Homo-oligomer: A and B are copies of this chain.
């Protein structure tokens, strides 16, 4: 069977899809948590997770009597977001949780949504980063200013070559992913410019939401010229 059909079939089951969506922010969840998200029993969950792991979409990490599952990599998260983005072509539909969710959310530890796209645009037009073969590089000026803001550029460069351009399904635009995206998002939350909402919610979408603090709005405006 073709690769395409195999992978898509795995994602195509409602239960497995719910689990994958729950894993989209990038954190690891136990089998029990995923069972609750998918709304199925423990036995069924175990089988589904086994299939996901064997296919390479999900990786496991046993710790005590828990088994922590996470997406196998950033490419998986990007592919899922791409698929989610597909049906929303012409007429922008309304979304659960409305604009709030479209505003800012996590996708594999980086920033997506309107804010993520705005940040990406700001970095490119102000030439903090530039396109280069194999990914993106920070310009000299960009390195200096990002470093000053507390972004760990060494850590950012340790990422895979697949360095940028995750498709954003709500904005239908690429945004900043990869190591740099992760480190910038880390900085933004560390400085309390962005805050996570309800990480414990059972709602898959809610768990990914981020909000901008008043302090963060001012900072984003002065540092990046973004009006949040």
- In the complex the two chains form, what is the Cα distance from A12 to B14 in whole Å? 12
Copies in the complex: 2
- In the complex the two chains form, what is the Cα distance from A78 to B11 in whole Å? 17
Partner of A14, one of B2, B17, B76, B80: B2
Collect the chain B residues with CB atoms within 8 Å of residue A10's CB.
8, 12
A7 touches B131 (CB 8 A): no
Given the contacts A21-B4, A75-B89, A172-B161, A82 and B82 also touching, CB distance less than 8 Å: yes
User: Any chain B CB within 8 A of the CB of A63?
Assistant: no
Q: How many residues of A contact B (CB 8 A)?
A: 52
User: Any chain B CB within 8 A of the CB of A130?
Assistant: yes
B17 touches A11 (CB 8 A): no
B83 touches A7 (CB 8 A): yes
Min C-beta distance of A137 to chain B, whole Å: 11
User: Any chain B CB within 8 A of the CB of A3?
Assistant: yes
A contacts, CB < 8 Å to B: 1-14, 16-18, 20-21, 55-57, 72-73, 75-76, 78-80, 82-87, 89, 120-121, 124-125, 130-134, 161-162, 165, 167, 172-174
17 A-B pairs besides A120-B133, A124-B132 with CB distance below 8 A are A1-B14, A2-B17, A4-B83, A5-B13, A8-B11, A9-B12, A57-B86, A73-B89, A75-B85, A75-B86, A76-B86, A79-B83, A83-B83, A125-B133, A134-B173, A161-B172, A162-B173
